[in-house]
Each structure stands twice: as C-alpha cells, then as structure tokens.
Structure 1
Amino acid sequence: MPGGNPFENSCPICSGATQTSFVAQLRKNLPLDIGIVYWMCLASPRTSFYIPFHFGISDFPAGFRSKSQRPSSQFYDEKVSRPFKSDVLEAFWTFSNFYNKVNSASPEDVARIQAQAEQIEKSALSIQGPLEEAAGRIYAGDRAAAVKLLENYSNGIYLSSLVAMEQIIYERAGEP
C-alpha cells in the first residue's frame, strides 16, 4: 500500500469484549527455550500490559500459579469491585480489578494507561535482545541458569506492571 495509510484497512486482533490476549514471538535462530516467547495480557489489551514468558522457563511468577477454580459471578463481582490493591500473588485478580476500575475511563485516561503500558512493553523489548544473548551464552553450559535469567526477566516486567497499575489508580484518584 505505497503512499497509503497502513492502518486504514487494518483489522484489529481483538474486540471490546476481549478478556485476555497473547502474542507468540517465534524465532528459529535461538534455542526453543529462548526463541519462543509468549507475551500474555491478562485483561483487555486496551487497558492492560503484555508480559513476556519464554518457552523454556520452569515456573511462572507466583501470582500466575493459583489454583484454577471458576468463581461464581457474585464472587467475581465482589472481588473486582473492591478498592484496587495490587497483589503479587494474585495476578488474575489484580488485572481483573484494575480493568474494572479503568474500563470506563475517559479517552484521556485510557491514553495515559496505554502510554504507561507502551513504556513498559518498549522497555521489555529493549532489554530482550541483550538478555537473550546472555541467556544464549549461558544456555549450552548451564541451561538452568539461563532459564532462571529468563524467569527473572518475566517477573521483573510483571512487577513493573503492578507498580504502574497502582500509580495509575492513585493518579486517577488525585493522590501522589
């Protein structure tokens, strides 16, 4: 589409009803443990953050490992309508509660949330190359150490997302 707007005829990959999303990053030039990255978003991408997880990690951050139970609608509504407080051990509930607080935000607030998410995601991408190079050098001699490096990277992005959510909520409430 030379000279045209590349977004003019684009089709979104999700809709307003999207509850979670992921993007798979696949590279052949790296060991599978490093070359496959699952960028996961635990709420609507409109007001949430993508967090990278490499295929080779042996464990997710603790907040992603809670028992899987389908909550009742009443329990879900009670949980997400509580005042926002990020909980590193409850990723799903933290992201769901945040979504509940910002889903109906003004266009200006949504733009600020998206800018914060983009900043975290761009930071994750800028670190990714050098991190994967280091993991690749370590991998042949000590796979466990390389995988731990990748786990720490994902956990750091996850924690940055939690801090950003708290900051956004406090700013919307007029607190410092």
Structure 2
Amino acid sequence: MTNSTLAMLDQAELQQLALNASTSGDSASAIAYLKEAVSRADATAIAHYLLGAEYAQIKMYQRGIDEMEAAIALDPALSIARLQLALLWLGQDRGARAGEVLQPLTELADSNPLHHFGHGLLHLIRDERSEALRALGQGVALNSVNPALNGDMQNIMRHLEQVPADAAAAPESAAVEEGQHLFLSAYTGQRH
C-alpha cells in the first residue's frame, strides 16, 4: 500500500482495513493502517486503542501502553481501552497505575460486565482473591458480546484458583514473572 493510497482513505476505511488485516493475522498491515489513522488531525480514540492492541499483540507492550493511554486521553469513557490498559500495566507489575486506570470502570452500571471486571482486577491488585473471583465471574456471566475477553478473564480466574494463596512460598521474582505472563497472555493468541 502506497502513501498516496493511504492518504485517500478516511478514518472509517483505515480502521476497517486494519481490523480485516488483524483478523487475518497480518499485524504489519494493521499497524500501517492504524499508524496512518492516528497520525491525522481527526484521529479517534478507537484508532489509538486498536493500534495499542496490535502493538500488545506483537509484544511491543510499551507502545501498546502509550497508544492505550492516548485513547483514554481522547475519550476517557472508552471503557474497553481502560480495561486493556490496566491489563498491560498489571503485566508490567504496575498495580498502582492499573488501579488508577480501572477506578472509573467501577462507576459503570452494575449490568455492564466491565464494571465487574474492573472490580475484579481491583480486588486482585489488593490480593483479595475470593472477591476477585466473584467479581470476574459476574463479569463473565454478563458478557455476551466479547468471548475473547471472557477467555482472558477466565484465564485469570483459573490462575487464581490454581496458585496457592500464600504467595510468599514462591520467590518474589518468580511470582512477578508469572503475573506478567498471566496479564500479557491476553495478547498472545486472541484478538479483541
């Protein structure tokens, strides 16, 4: 795709082409379309979010974080970007920052699965395992529109159920590495 061809495409076209490329496993094309989209004056929060997700998918986590941060700066109500950004921060062992990002999700309606996912991850940050499991389970039960997100939350729940509650038994560096793998694994096989 040439620069002159990209210049002819509008935001909606760039985003749809990026989604098509991403679904086909063509991250290079998806990123090219999205980089064009976010470089424009009419860049949208969704374009930044999608670019962040692509970067995270190819394990360029800091770039993913930067784009997710740009997305919520443009649209603080873009709740899915908040959730994904928090997962990236948790994967970087930055629980305090993840908590700040998650807090607005707790203000969503109780019928919104992201409300429960936000609460669940906040409980997890505070090492409140049973509360985290309950809230994440409620979110999964309510979420009928994003099966991949349910898969991510179920992976976290399985991890919580399998790992002993006494984390002190494991060396801290091993626990941090395992936690990073858990939260970042959302980007290693499933596209959102």
Q: TM-score range by the shorter chain?
A: under 0.3
How high is the TM-score relative to the length of structure 2?
0.26
Q: Which has the higher strand share?
A: 1
Q: Which one has the bigger helix percentage?
A: 2
What TM-score do you get using the length of structure 1 for normalisation?
Answer: 0.28
Q: Which has the higher contact order (CA 8 A, sep 6+)?
A: 1
